[in-house]
Amino acid sequence: TVEGFVVNNYTNQNIQCPNCHHSIDMVIDQKQSNKKIYDDCPSCHRAIEFTMEINPQNQSVNLTTSNEEDGLF
């Protein structure tokens, strides 16, 4: 679960790594569609799966994370 604020069509989301709980700031373009993003934590370098769901009606972004390292490689 994330906290964020909206500037124009971009929102800043603060999430925690599901592995080491490091705080990660992300800037998301709300004009994008729903998608999954895979990236490594900048602290522990383990893989994270981000699921991004954008609701254009109320301009909200729901960003969730999960530890998918074992399933990716």
pLDDT digits (tens, 9 = 90+) for 6-64: 456 777 888 899 999 999 998 887 777 788 888 899 999 999 998 888 777 776 778 78
Note the pLDDT of residue 20.
94
Question: How sure is the predictor about 72, in pLDDT bands with cuts at 50, 70 and 90?
Answer: very low
Q: Tokens 């929102």 belong to which residue?
A: 11
The overall pTM is greater than 0.85:
no
Q: Could you please report the per-residue DSSP string of the chain?
A: --EEEEETTEEEEEEE-TTT--EEEEEEETTSPSEEEEEE-TTT--EEEEEEEEETTTTEEEEEEE--HHHH-
pLDDT band at 1 (very low <50, low <70, confident <90, very high): very low
